[in-house]
Chain A
Amino acid sequence: AQSVTQLDSQVPVFEEAPVELRCNYSSSVSVYLFWYVQYPNQGLQLLLKYLSGSTLVESINGFEAEFNKSQTSFHLRKPSVHISDTAEYFCAVTLRGGSQGNLIFGKGTKLSVKP
Chain B
Amino acid sequence: DTGVSQDPRHKITKRGQNVTFRCDPISEHNRLYWYRQTLGQGPEFLTYFQNEAQLEKSRLLSDRFSAERPKGSFSTLEIQRTEQGDSAMYLCASSRDRGWYGYTFGSGTRLTVV
Contacts and interface: CB of A to CB of B under 8 A. Distances in A.
A104 interface: yes
B104 to A, nearest CB: 8
Nearest to B44: A105
B42 A106 contact: yes
Contacts of B102: 34, 46, 49
A34 B42 CA distance: 13
Contacts of A51: 100
A45 B91 CA distance: 12
B43 A44 contact: yes
Nearest to B108: A43
A43 B4 contact: yes
A82 interface: no
Interface stretch (A13-21, A63-71, A95-103): A95-103
A42 interface: yes
Interface of A: 4, 6, 9, 32, 34, 36, 41-46, 49, 51, 90, 92, 94, 96, 98-108
A44 B33 contact: no
- Secondary structure type dominating chain B contacts: mixed
A25 to B, nearest CB: 13
B107 interface: yes
A103 B105 contact: no
A104 B45 CA distance: 7
Which has the most chain A C-beta neighbours within 10 Å: B41, B56, B95, B99? B99
Contacts of A94: 99-100
A43 B31 contact: no
Contacts of B101: 49
Contact of B99 (A44, A102, A105): A102
Contacts of B99: 94, 100-103
Contacts of B98: 98-101
